Structures are given as C-alpha cells and as structure tokens.
C-alpha cells in the first residue's frame, strides 16, 4: 500500500445553510431591510437534482444599499465578526455557530454598480411565493443575469447550469434583464451560455459569411 500523501486526514467540507439563513433573516427583520436570497443557496432552491447543488461556504442576500448602515448597526449588537465586501456590502461570521452570511448591495465602483439589478431582483422575489426558510428567493432569470455580471468561469458555469436545468426559465425575460441592467455587451455572453446549455431558444452564433 502506498504511503499517505497528506500529513493527516482531512474532513470533507460541509455547509448547512440553515443557521446562516436564519441569522440573516433575524438581522434583516431587526434592521427592517428588504431582501432576496441569491447565490448558490438560491440555486439549490431552483435546481431539483441535488447532484447539481455545488458546494458553497455562505448564504448570500441581496439588500438595498441604503439598508447597509442599519444592518451594520444590528450586526454590531451580535457576536458576529463583520467585514466589508469589495463588491459592495458586508460579511458576517460566527464560526462557533457555523454562520457565514453576506449582505450584498453590489454597489462597488471598482467592480461595477449593479445595485439596480439587485433591487429589481428583490422586487421580483417579493412578488412571488417562492421562499427558503421564510426568505424570498430571487427568480432564476435574475440569478442568471447576476452570474453573467460576475464574469468568472465558475459563475458562467452556474449560469449554464441554471439555463440547462430550469425548464420554465423565461429566456426573453432574461435577455431583457441583461440588456437593461448589464448592457448589450453581455447579451453575446448570454447567447453563448444558451448555446452551450443546448437551449432551444439559443440564437445561432454569428460568423463571417453566414
């Protein structure tokens, strides 16, 4: 038998989103902040097959930029370690309770101000009945737009997974969100994701001579 390649056994990473979601909901209720669940935990809600539930290490909430001061005021009354998010918003962590919660307004000048998209996601989440632990969940169309805006390979794979797996995804509504909040430059990325997902509404790629 070959020798062990690591110094000691490592536990597999696990994350139970419920404590972080409940903590976030308490903070948002006490600060009277509007909210929508976003990120990978929101993806878990929409994706039926648990095999599509990729690992995440926190629970993400979209919040209005104007709510951040009141959220911070409430957080400072708890045991949470609080830090600023470079993309806009704050992170709260209570390690002993397994709490890792992000309150994201996405208002960063450096990374792009996507607060209008996030506010629209909150509005849309409030207008539907889909909830996780009592928290309105952002619609999948908004999640796809957010993933495209993030621009990383991981986020693009998430967008493709949502497009491929959610059968009632409103493609035209998603195009409208991208056009309105992200600009025409990212419409091409959306169409590429639609093609890679094998979606029947994907538009044919443009090429010279076609």
Summarised one tens digit per residue, pLDDT across range 63-112 is 999 999 999 999 999 999 999 999 999 999 998 998 999 999 999 888 88
Assess contact for 59 and 21: CB atoms under 8 A: yes
Q: What is the pLDDT of residue 205?
A: 79
| pLDDT at 208 > cutoff 50 | no
Give this prediction's pTM: 0.88
Q: What is the pLDDT of residue 10?
A: 57
Q: Where do the domains of the chain lie, and which CATH numbers do they carry? A: 15-138 (3.30.460), 139-200 (no CATH)
Q: What is the pLDDT of residue 3?
A: 56
Cα–Cα dist 113/93, whole Å: 25
Assess contact for 135 and 37: CB atoms under 8 A: yes
- Mean pLDDT over 183-196 rounds to 94
> C-alpha distances in angstroms, 10 versus 13, 38, 48, 57, 178?
9, 30, 30, 17, 41
């Amino acid at each position: 038998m070959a020798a062990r390649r690591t110094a000691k056994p490592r536990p597999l990473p696990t994350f139970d989103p419920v404590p972080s979601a409940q903590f976030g909901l308490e903070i948002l209720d006490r600060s009277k902040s509007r909210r929508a669940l976003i990120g990978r935990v929101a993806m878990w809600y929409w994706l039926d097959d648990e095999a599509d539930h990729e690992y995440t290490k926190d629970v993400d909430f979209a919040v209005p930029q104007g709510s951040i001061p009141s959220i911070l005021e409430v957080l400072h009354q708890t045991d949470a370690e609080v830090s600023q998010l470079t993309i806009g918003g704050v992170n709260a962590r209570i390690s002993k309770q397994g709490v890792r919660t992000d309150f994201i307004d996405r208002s960063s000048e450096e990374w792009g101000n996507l607060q209008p998209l996030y506010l629209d996601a909150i509005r849309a989440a409030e207008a539907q009945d889909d909830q996780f632990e009592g928290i309105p969940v952002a619609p999948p169309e908004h999640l796809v737009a957010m993933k495209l805006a993030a621009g990383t390979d991981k986020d693009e794979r998430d967008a493709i997974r949502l497009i491929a797996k959610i059968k009632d995804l409103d493609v035209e509504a998603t195009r409208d969100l991208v056009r309105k909040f992200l600009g025409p430059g990212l419409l091409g990325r959306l169409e590429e994701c639609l093609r890679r997902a094998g979606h029947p509404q994907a538009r044919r790629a443009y090429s010279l001579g076609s």
